[in-house]
Every structure is written in structure tokens, then in C-alpha cells.
Amino acid sequence: MFHKEGFKIIINTFLLCAVLALLAEYRIENLWIQKAVQVVSVVLLILVLQFFRNPKRRTVLNENHIISPVDGKVVVIEEVFEKEFFKDKRLQVSIFMSPLNVHVTRYAISGSVVFSKYHPGKYLVAWHPKSSELNERTTVVLENNTVGKILYRQIAGAVARRIVNYAKVGDKVVQGTDAGFIKFGSRVDLFLPIGTKVNVEIDQIVKGGKDCIAAI
């Protein structure tokens, strides 16, 4: 299953690879060069297909759990001052996604969308300390009666060039369902209430829609 955000790119890549393979077959006489071009075309198509894969995951709904919004590696767990929405101290948990990860963003909790904003910006590498403030990004705040308010931020990386955000203020959302997509490499920051019990560690690999990041 592939994500709808990738359909156009997948079709265009398939057509490009097919044209390259046919041109190599009928226009290149050197067998080694011919086969090299065809192999590169197939590899390119496979890479695009794997990037836009969208595995269907069954999320076990739990109003006390904040689940991982994305696949990737936990790179930050620390108390910080969140200055865009809360304007106070929050517990930040950041997850870095390599180009090989699934890049679907999923809702970490069920509830209502109370804030959603897009910020244009730079394209620093996603693990850069300032990427959360300077890169292209979206900020979304979700709220329910159990957890209260949590904020997640989709951040574009050095390769990413488009963030897709489905969250609109007033939406009622369900934990684990699609919240958006980040094309070609990125990171997501979660900002949780101080004192939240974190269930992950630095460098831990997590799966979006499945693994519990923290519990209330």
C-alpha cells in the first residue's frame, strides 16, 4: 500500500524509468552500459516506492497513552521552553526519520485540533539544534480530557521539500490515523506536559501508530 501523497511522483518515476530502460535497450550498443542504465532505473523506482509505502497499522486506542506519530529514532528527550504556543516549559521528545523510514505522520492521541500553523523556512539537516525553529515546519496542538494539550511539530530536513499537514482547527481526530506526510527526510518533535512518564530512550527505534512514547 502506498500513500496518496506519492501517487503522482510514483507514476512520473515509473514513466521516466521505463523510458530510460527502453532507450538503453534500443539506443545503447555497449551491453555493460545498457544493463547499468536499466539497473539504475529499477533501483530508482524501488527507492521511490519504498519511500512512499504506507503500511496499515492497527492502533490499540488508549486515552492514557501518547503514541509515536512517526517511524524513526528517538534523538532528543529534554525539558525545553516552548515559545510558539505554550510559552512555558515542556518535555520535548524528538524523532528523526531517515529517507528509509516510513514518512507518514499519525495522530499521537485522539481529541480535537486546537491549533495548526505552517511556517516557511530553511532546510538545515533535521538533527541540527536550530532546525525546530528555522526550518520549514508545521505546528499542531491536540487536546483531550485525559492528556490535556500536546504539541507536535513536523520539520523538513535538508532533503525534504514538502510537508503535508491534514490537521485543521476544529477537527476531531482519532489516535493512529493519518495526520500528514513529510516528503524525503525529516523529523517530528513532540512537546508534552512536564512530569509525563516517558517510555522511550535516546536512540530507541519506534514505529508510528504503535509504540507508546509516554503515558499519563
Cut 0.75: pTM above it: yes
**Residue 8 near residue 39 (C-beta atoms within 8 A):** no
> What element of type H or E holds 95?
strand 88-97
Rounded-to-integer distance, Cα 49 and Cα 9, Å: 9
**pLDDT of 135 over the 90 cut:** no
How much is the mean pLDDT over the chain? 87
On whether both 108 and 208 belong to a single domain, the answer is yes
Same domain, 100 and 78: yes
**pLDDT tens-digit series, residues 45-101:** 887 777 777 778 889 999 999 999 999 999 999 999 999 999 999 999 999 988 788
Place of cell 525539558: 79
Residues, the chain = 216
Instruction: List the domain range (segments joined by +) for residue 79.
Output: 65-215
Domain of residue 105, CATH code: 2.70.70
Question: Amino acid letter at 26?
Answer: Y
Which residues are catalytic, by number? 186
pLDDT number for residue 1: 75
* Burial degree of 195 (CB within 10 A; 0-12, 13-18, 19+): exposed
Which amino acid is it at 36?
A
